[in-house]
Amino acid sequence: MLDILYLDDYLAIVNKPAGWLVHRTPLDKGETRFVLQTLRDQIGQHVWPVHRLDKGTSGVLLFALDADTARTLGQAFESGEGLQKTYRAVVRGWPADSGLIDHPLKRMPDDMRTERQEVQPAQSRFATLHHFELPLPQQGFASTRCAEVALEPLTGRRHQLRRHMKHIAHPIMGDATHGKGPLNRAVADLIGLQRLWLHATRLQLAHPVSAQPLAIEAPLPAEWGLWTTFPECPTAVRA
C-alpha cells in the first residue's frame, strides 16, 4: 500500500518509496514495483503521472486523475511557474552554507530530442543543514565528511540535483551514477542500508481546477534517522 498524502477528484499525491519505479520501463525489465500501477489498483481508477522521481528517490509524487488535468499540470511543470519543489539529501563533504548552482546540463542519452547533444540551462539552490563525520578513512584522511542539505531545483532537468551536486564536488550519498562507488559501498556497510539519499520533501503548486494553493509534504523516511547516530560537527570547524 502506498502512503497517499492528498486525494480529491482531480489529483492523487503519494509518498513514493525509495527503490520503486514510477512506471514500467524497458530500461529496468527486472523490476516488479511500480507506483503508477499500485496507485491505480489502490484507488480503483486510472492515473496519469505528471512528473517523475528517479527510482532511488523517495517522497512527494503527483498524479492526475484525468487526461485534461494531466495536460494542465504538465504545462505547469514544463514552465515551472507557480511550482516549488524542495528536497533533502545527504552529500559527501561540507558544502558552503548556501548557494546557487547555475550550470547547464546536456540531455541524458535516452532523452535526446534530436541527433545533436542538446544543452539546457539549469539552476538549483542548496542550503546546508547539518555536518557530520563518518568513521571511514578516505583519501588519506581519518574520517569522511558529509552533510545534510536542503535542495530546490529551479528548473526541471533529468537527474538535475544529482548532477548539480556532483558538479560542485558534493555528490549525493548512494548515487551509483553520479557518485563514488567505493564510498557508497563503505557507507552502506557502515549504516546497514544501501539507497540513494535523496527525498522529495515538499511540493507547492496551485490546484489546477480551483487555483487554491496546495503545499504537500512527505515526512522523511524512518531510515533517515540512521544519520543521527553520528555526532553533528559544529560549522566553526569547517575547512
Ordered by start, the domain boundaries in the chain are 3-237
pLDDT at 85 over 60: yes
Q: Provide the pLDDT for residue 28.
A: 61
At 10-35, the pLDDT tens digits run: 999 999 999 999 987 665 666 778 99
Quote the distance between the C-alpha of residue 190 and its chain's center: 23
Q: What is the CA radius of gyration of the chain?
A: 18
CA distances to 93, 107, 182 from 155, rounded to whole Å, are: 24, 13, 31
Residue 90 and residue 195: Cα distance in Å, rounded? 11
Active-site positions? 54
**What is the pTM (predicted TM-score) of this model?**
0.91
* Cα angle for residues 62, 71, 109 (degrees, 5° grid): 75
Which CATH architecture is the domain 3-237 placed in?
2-Layer Sandwich (3.30)
